[in-house]
């Protein structure tokens, strides 16, 4: 590739993860002493060798990235996709020089502006005005350069009234608007955007996508991470699919998105280990189960049967309220529909403990095809408690609306069985009233 701006060569990143051994009900004193001695010797050896000291009885080496290589040209927009835990954020942190790789190297040509999480690089005690200049200084901009872009940044972020308020008092939406505006308008050659746009509303997301498209046309390079495949397809020309730290797909964005949506469990049940569960301080997603009216727990259902999508979750502390959201995606990455359990009007507990919530997809609604299932949780107008996670896929079969022996797949994500009223042999005089 000519005029390469980003070159990742055999990148790998490993972490040491500590595990506590499950205690027996009755443990001899000599076993306790021996275990403590082994742990002390191991930690002492790590300390004197300059290695990371890991808490726990046993230590496991976990590879977040393994032998990842790709190149990005000047002015190109590359999408980075994959399920939660696939290694996307680790890759972006290495590219942003936040962490060093365990193996391999990165060659970058130009200054980088990174937006890896809400308010990256912001100081909570400083005002919005002060943080704009701070971010510019971190990127290597002079004060004159920042001043020249200042009015554009403020207008894009729409925070004029709160410009001299400490950003710690900003809502998550205001925070991310200002952070994105700073990263997108200051004159860096490379822009890295992680899954932060999901915090904003639909209008703000549209503005961000339009801004990134304009930035790429000016010759700046963008790495874009998102779980929203429609945004990836509209913005990116190529994409990289990560799975368990390795590249599972690389090429034209349409082909990679299709590969991604067709991956994942299709047997009707997704359950996470304790280490991998999508979670926050308040909530933890335990499992997702798909169950048909006739098929039972499965990944393939008939068009004329009801499908129940059940989320099992752990609430870690008492709270006043939140909502779960389920979204179905077509094979092309478009949103088929979105639904939330906030519509449920019956009694509901927000106390600590295990709970479940079920979305019922009515029969004779979905068209034939394969659909990806995405889930997240949050508090409306406040922020997300569990980020969007793709939990699997399901297939709808058995639809026949062609009225012929030919196998015709009608367009559209839905093909509902709507009621039609037909009046036969209508008199000519009545046609004027139709």
Write down the domain spans for the chain: 4-62, 74-261, 269-397
Strand order in the sheet with 246-252: 112-115, 190-193, 221-225, 77-81, 238-243, 246-252
Q: What is the pLDDT of residues 130-159, one digit of tens each?
A: 988 988 887 777 888 888 889 988 888 888
CB 154 within 8 A of CB 57: no
Residue that is written with structure tokens 């009234």 in the block = 161
396-to-368, 370, 431 alpha-carbon distances in Å: 5, 6, 40
Report d(CA 233, CA 237) in Å as an integer.
7
pLDDT number for residue 304:
87
Tens of pLDDT, residues 279-327: 888 899 999 999 988 888 888 888 889 999 999 999 988 887 889 999 9
Give the strand pairing for 77-81 and 221-225: parallel
The predicted-structure confidence for 72-95, as pLDDT tens digits, reads as follows 998 899 999 887 778 888 898 898
Domain 74-261: give its CATH superfamily. P-loop containing nucleotide triphosphate hydrolases (3.40.50.300)
Q: Which of 4-8, 64-68, 119-123 has the lowest mean pLDDT?
A: 119-123
Region 421-428: what's the mean pLDDT?
Answer: 72
User: What topology does CATH give the domain 269-397?
Assistant: Coagulation Factor XIII; Chain A, domain 1 (2.70.50)
Q: What is the pLDDT of residue 240?
A: 92
Quick one: pLDDT at residue 406?
A: 42
List 105's β-bridge partners, or say none. Answer: 9
Question: By C-alpha distance, which of 194, 226, 180 is closest to 116?
Answer: 194
pLDDT at position 307 is: 93
Tell me how far apart the alpha carbons of residues 353 and 342 are, in angstroms, rounded to a whole number. Answer: 19
> What pLDDT score does 339 carry?
92
Q: How far is CA 98 from its chain centroid?
A: 20
DSSP 72-106: EETT-EEEEE--TTSSHHHHHHHHTTSS--SEEEE
Specify the pLDDT at position 369.
84
**Beta strands at 112-115 and 58-73: parallel, antiparallel or unpaired:** unpaired
Q: Compute the average pLDDT of residues 105-116.
A: 84
Name the 3-class secondary structure at 116.
coil
More confident residue, 179 or 129: 129
Q: What is the pLDDT of residues 152-163, one digit of tens each?
A: 888 888 888 888
Q: For residue 211, is pLDDT > 90?
A: no
Alpha helices (runs of H) in 50-78, residue ranges in sequence order: none
| Residue 405's pLDDT band (cuts 50, 70, 90) | very low
Take residue 152 and report the two structure tokens written for it.
């554009």
Beta bridge partners of 302: 397
Do the beta carbons of residue 61 and residue 14 sit within 8 Å? Answer: yes
307 and 301 in contact (C-beta within 8 Å)?
yes
The confidence score (pLDDT) of residue 48 equals 59
**pLDDT, mean over the chain:** 80
| Cα separation, 77 vs 321, whole angstroms | 38
Q: State the pTM of this model.
A: 0.63
DSSP state of 21: P
Ranking 41-45, 49-53, 214-218, 350-354 by mean pLDDT, the lowest is 49-53
Name the CA radius of gyration of the chain, rounded.
Answer: 26
Convert the pLDDT of each residue in 251-265 to its tens digit. Answer: 999 888 878 876 655
Band of residue 226 on the pLDDT scale cut at 50, 70, 90 = confident
pLDDT score of 326: 94
| pLDDT for res 45 | 62
Question: What pLDDT is stored for residue 197 in this prediction?
Answer: 61
Q: Which string of b and e fits 60-87 if b means at least 16 CB within 10 Å?
A: eeebbbbebebebebebbbbbbbbbbbb
């Amino acid at each position: 590739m000519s005029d390469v701006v980003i070159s990742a060569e055999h990148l790998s990143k490993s972490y040491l993860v500590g595990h506590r051994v499950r205690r027996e009900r009755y443990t001899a004193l000599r076993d306790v002493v021996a275990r403590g001695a082994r742990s002390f010797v191991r930690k002492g050896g790590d300390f004197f060798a300059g290695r990371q000291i890991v808490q726990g009885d046993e230590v496991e080496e976990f590879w977040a990235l393994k032998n990842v290589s790709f190149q990005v040209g000047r002015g190109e927009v590359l999408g980075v996709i994959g399920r939660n835990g696939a290694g996307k954020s680790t890759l972006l942190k290495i590219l942003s020089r936040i962490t060093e790789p365990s193996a391999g190297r990165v060659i970058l040509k130009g200054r980088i502006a990174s937006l890896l999480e809400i308010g990256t690089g912001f100081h909570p005690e400083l005002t919005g005005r002060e943080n704009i200049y701070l971010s510019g200084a971190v990127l290597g901009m002079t004060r004159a350069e920042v001043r020249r872009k200042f009015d554009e940044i403020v207008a894009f972020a729409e925070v004029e009234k709160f410009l001299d308020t400490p950003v710690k008092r900003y809502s998550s939406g205001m925070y991310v608007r200002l952070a994105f505006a700073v990263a997108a308008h200051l004159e860096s050659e490379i822009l890295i955007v992680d899954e932060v746009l999901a915090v904003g509303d639909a209008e703000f997301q549209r503005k961000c996508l339009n801004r990134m498209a304009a930035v790429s046309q000016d010759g700046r390079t963008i790495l874009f991470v998102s779980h929203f495949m429609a945004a990836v397809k509209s913005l990116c020309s190529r994409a990289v699919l990560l799975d368990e730290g390795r590249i599972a797909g690389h090429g034209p964005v349409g082909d990679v998105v299709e590969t991604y949506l067709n991956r994942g469990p299709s047997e009707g049940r997704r359950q996470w280990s304790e280490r991998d569960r999508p979670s926050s301080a308040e909530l933890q997603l335990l499992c997702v189960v798909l169950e048909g009216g006739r098929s039972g727990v499965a990944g393939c259902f008939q068009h004329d049967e009801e499908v129940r999508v059940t989320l099992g979750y752990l609430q870690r502390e008492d709270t006043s309220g939140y909502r779960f959201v389920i979204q179905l995606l077509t094979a092309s990455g478009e949103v088929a529909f979105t639904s939330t359990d906030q519509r449920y009007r019956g009694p509901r507990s927000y106390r600590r403990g295990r709970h479940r919530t079920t979305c019922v997809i009515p029969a004779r609604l979905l068209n034939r095809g394969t659909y990806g299932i995405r889930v997240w949780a949050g508090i409306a107008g406040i922020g997300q408690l569990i980020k969007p996670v793709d939990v699997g896929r399901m297939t709808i079969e058995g639809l026949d609306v062609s009225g012929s022996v030919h196998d015709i797949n009608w367009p559209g994500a839905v093909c509902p069985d709507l009621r039609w009223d037909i009046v036969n042999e209508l008199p000519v005089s009545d046609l004027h009233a139709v």
